[in-house]
Chain A
Amino acid sequence: MSRKRHRLVPETFGLKRRRELGDVEADPLRGESVHVAVTRSLRPGSAREAVAEIVRLFPRVLFEDALPPIALRSQVYSLVPDRTVADRQLKALQEQGEIRIVQLGFDLDAQGIMFTEDYRTRVLKACDGRPYAAAVQKFLASVLPACGDLSFQQDQMTQTFGFRDPEITQLVKAGVLTVRDAGSWWLAVPGAGRFIKYFVKGRQAVLSMVRKAKYRELLLSELLGRRAPASVRLGLAYHVHDLIGAQLVDCVSTTSGTLLRLPET
């Protein structure tokens, strides 16, 4: 019983929490490198490394490299243990202009994160040779570095950045802007519709894998070892990070590893 109490006392009291044996073994989410000493350093301490890690998991081949690798905010939460710190770091990265955050339409909480460079190169490649290329290039050159927000207002676009209405229509046609309501637009990724469709289907599929299991719980290693059903195109590890971070499954640490359990509520 005293062992349980040890875990409750926070670090402010100057305690060294006894390293649990679970930390030492390889985290199956990382897949390879089973080295004991190294796994501690592989866990990203910062949001930037978390985003880079998820970007590595993103299947570029599936989208023929036309889509920038997108990570979700919930995936960053699953890798960085403290949510408030993760939020602050993401905000700092957003202000520096290193990442862009995009509102993915299907859920109020789901926000996609990608590196600005990736976004810029992919968008330029997508609009190559099309009639709206000029407007898109003007947008990428003037608006993106200046305004790091998720959405843009009518007066902002026309007055501050000098876009005319036909140009804005071209941007919407190019897929760079999505209409939000009269006079405001979300920043969007051209061609992201397919990604969102695969993502939503895959999330439901992985969640149903846990739901169908006996007692509605699955060991993480077993889940990752199973064959992905056909509707999971983005990879099991990608979806598992998202489920853990969005708290759609509870993570319970057991002697056999991490257990994913559906919450009772």
Chain B
Amino acid sequence: MLGFLSARQAGLEDPLRLRRAESTRRVLGLELNKDRDVERIHCSGVNTLDIEPVEGRYMLSGGSDGVIVLYDLENSSRQPYYTCKAVCSVGRSHPDVHKYSVETVQWYPHDTGMFTSSSFDKTLKVWDTNTLQIADVFNFEETVYSHHMSPVATKHCLVAVGTRGPKVQLCDLKSGSCSHILQGHRQEILAVSWSPRYEYILATASADSRAKLWDVRRASGCLITLDQHNGKKSQAAESANTAHNGKVNGLCFTSDGLHLLTVGTDNRMRLWNSSNGENTLVNYGKVYNDSRKGLKFTVSSGCSSEFVFVPYGSTIAVYTIYSGEQITMLKGHYKSVDCCVFQSNFQELYSGSRDCNILAWVPSLCESVPDDDDERRQWQPTPMFLPHGWRSLVGYSP
């Protein structure tokens, strides 16, 4: 660490290197911490979480009973022990609360004045955060599984909505109506995601085993259908052009938008090159997935080797994206985990599960507990008892 700092100071190394090294070290030390808690408001499973991209301070959560809660994640007290309090919530007594389970919530990407929520009651509601009133409602014919608004869009305000029908609907927030429909899938759309790199590229995943990339400006059909065998029919056991051998449950672009991760009910996760739709054939092993609706997983950003956090039963599995190595399984929830989000400023992970809890996974810091101090002082000469990250960053070799 001191080596990195002095190299940065002298201009020998890029400042980003120190930041990435420290972020990676912190992500590798994620664990449950007794000092960090999230207030328990939900009385039923937490289906979705979203942290606002502007400051990374406020988090929205949507539950199976239709309740939406807004948490403040920042620790403004000087104490190490901190509970993330709920600032406000759309409870069951609210006149405009969703009738059934809220499947996806998302902050408006450009500021925290607005957020959108979609639910099994066939609506997409646009909320004003300060007054907690509805600004607009979009009604659909089928239950809504997922929606997403582009995080980088400046020229359009389209929300892509995936419903139980095979058509992806694009709703325009400015005009208040559905602007167009993307046809191509054959069964329900379980996940949609805009690319964080190009504002017109959309990826959709459906229960018909296909994942498609669209350019919404194009009238005719999708750009690419992801094929797990990369076009080689000889390897395919079934019909080609399927991304998975089961339903495709979840989609996530990497933070630079160059790669796309998909998970499917065939217990596999695949990494695709998002520019040409090629399967990079990175093998993550068995990624257990029996979710009948979408699985919301997330990737880290700002680390030197990016990590993906996937809900795996009642644990969260952490893999390095480009090499497929499983780093660890984060155990802590009592029932199946439904969603997780990563806060990239502090390298924290928040996960919501069916046991109504939201857990905060915090990088473990080397705190000196009074008992350990004596041991540390005794063992100071032998370097192997220093935390590994520090040893490497100092450049000390035993």
Interface 0/1 of B299-333, CB less than 8 Å to A: 00000110000001100000010011101100000
Is A265 part of the contact surface with B, judged by Cβ < 8 Å?
yes
- Report B219 CB to chain A, min CB distance, Å: 34
Q: Which residues of B sit under 8 angstroms from A23, Cβ to Cβ?
A: none
Is A87 part of the contact surface with B, judged by Cβ < 8 Å?
yes
A8:B387 contact, CB within 8 angstroms: no
Is A193 part of the contact surface with B, judged by Cβ < 8 Å?
no
Q: Which residues of B sit under 8 angstroms from A150, Cβ to Cβ?
A: 234-235
CB < 8 Å neighbour of B286 from A5, A88, A247: A247
CB < 8 Å neighbour of A108 from B24, B245, B283, B328: B245
Q: Which residues of A sit under 8 angstroms from B384, Cβ to Cβ?
A: 18
Docked complex Cα distance between A15 and B391 (Å): 8
CB < 8 Å neighbour of B325 from A9, A82, A265: A82
A87:B283 contact, CB within 8 angstroms: yes
Is A225 part of the contact surface with B, judged by Cβ < 8 Å?
no
Q: Which residues of A sit under 8 angstroms from B25, Cβ to Cβ?
A: 9, 13
- Known contacts A150-B234, A152-B234: A83-B283 contact under CB 8 Å: yes
Q: Which of A9, A246, A264 has the most CB of B within 10 A?
A: A9
Question: Which chain B residue shows the least CB distance to A9?
Answer: B388
Is A153 part of the contact surface with B, judged by Cβ < 8 Å?
yes
Q: Which residues of A sit under 8 angstroms from B282, Cβ to Cβ?
A: 84
B285:A247 contact, CB within 8 angstroms: yes
- Report B17 CB to chain A, min CB distance, Å: 12
Q: Which residues of B sit under 8 angstroms from A151, Cβ to Cβ?
A: 233-235
Q: Which residues of B sit under 8 angstroms from A86, Cβ to Cβ?
A: 283
Q: Which residues of B sit under 8 angstroms from A6, Cβ to Cβ?
A: 388
A5:B285 contact, CB within 8 angstroms: no
A13:B235 contact, CB within 8 angstroms: no
B304:A82 contact, CB within 8 angstroms: no
- Report B139 CB to chain A, min CB distance, Å: 37
Interface 0/1 of A218-241, CB less than 8 Å to B: 000000000000000000000000
Question: Which chain A residue shows the least CB distance to B238?
Answer: A108
Is B237 part of the contact surface with A, judged by Cβ < 8 Å?
yes
Docked complex Cα distance between A10 and B320 (Å): 10
Docked complex Cα distance between A14 and B266 (Å): 36
- Report B355 CB to chain A, min CB distance, Å: 15
B29:A264 contact, CB within 8 angstroms: no
Question: Which chain B residue shows the least CB distance to A263?
Answer: B288
Question: Which chain A residue shows the least CB distance to B327?
Answer: A8
Question: Which chain B residue shows the least CB distance to A105?
Answer: B237
B285:A9 contact, CB within 8 angstroms: no
CB < 8 Å neighbour of A13 from B284, B286, B392: B392
Is A255 part of the contact surface with B, judged by Cβ < 8 Å?
no
CB < 8 Å neighbour of A5 from B29, B312, B313, B392: B29
Is A254 part of the contact surface with B, judged by Cβ < 8 Å?
no
Is B199 part of the contact surface with A, judged by Cβ < 8 Å?
no
A5:B305 contact, CB within 8 angstroms: no
Is B290 part of the contact surface with A, judged by Cβ < 8 Å?
yes
Residues 1 to 40 of chain A near chain B (Cβ within 8 Å): 2, 5-6, 8-10, 12-16, 18
Interface 0/1 of B358-390, CB less than 8 Å to A: 000000101000000000000000001101110
Q: Which residues of A sit under 8 angstroms from B391, Cβ to Cβ?
A: 15
- Report B266 CB to chain A, min CB distance, Å: 8
Is A149 part of the contact surface with B, judged by Cβ < 8 Å?
yes
Q: Which residues of A sit under 8 angstroms from B312, Cβ to Cβ?
A: 265
Is B28 part of the contact surface with A, judged by Cβ < 8 Å?
yes
Is A178 part of the contact surface with B, judged by Cβ < 8 Å?
no
Q: Which residues of B sit under 8 angstroms from A246, Cβ to Cβ?
A: 286
- Report B358 CB to chain A, min CB distance, Å: 22
Is A75 part of the contact surface with B, judged by Cβ < 8 Å?
no
Docked complex Cα distance between A108 and B305 (Å): 32
Question: Which chain A residue shows the least CB distance to B320?
Answer: A10
Q: Which residues of A sit under 8 angstroms from B29, Cβ to Cβ?
A: 5, 8
Is B292 part of the contact surface with A, judged by Cβ < 8 Å?
no
Q: Which residues of B sit under 8 angstroms from A88, Cβ to Cβ?
A: 281
Docked complex Cα distance between A5 and B385 (Å): 11
Q: Which residues of A sit under 8 angstroms from B283, Cβ to Cβ?
A: 83-84, 86-87
A2:B385 contact, CB within 8 angstroms: yes
Q: Which residues of A sit under 8 angstroms from B388, Cβ to Cβ?
A: 5-6, 9, 13, 15
Docked complex Cα distance between A9 and B24 (Å): 9
A2:B387 contact, CB within 8 angstroms: yes
Is B34 part of the contact surface with A, judged by Cβ < 8 Å?
no
Q: Which residues of B sit under 8 angstroms from A12, Cβ to Cβ?
A: 304-305
Q: Which residues of B sit under 8 angstroms from A15, Cβ to Cβ?
A: 388, 391-392
Is B232 part of the contact surface with A, judged by Cβ < 8 Å?
yes
Shortest beta-carbon contacts, A-B, top 7: A149-B234, A83-B283, A247-B286, A13-B392, A265-B313, A9-B388, A151-B234
Sample 13 A-B pairs with CB under 8 A, ordered by A number: A5-B28, A10-B305, A10-B320, A13-B389, A82-B323, A84-B282, A84-B324, A103-B237, A108-B245, A108-B266, A149-B235, A153-B234, A246-B286
Write the residues of chain B forming the contact surface with A, with a CB cutoff of 8 angstroms: 21, 24-25, 28-29, 232-235, 237-238, 245, 266, 281-286, 288, 290, 304-305, 312-313, 320, 323-325, 327-328, 364, 366, 384-385, 387-389, 391-393, 398
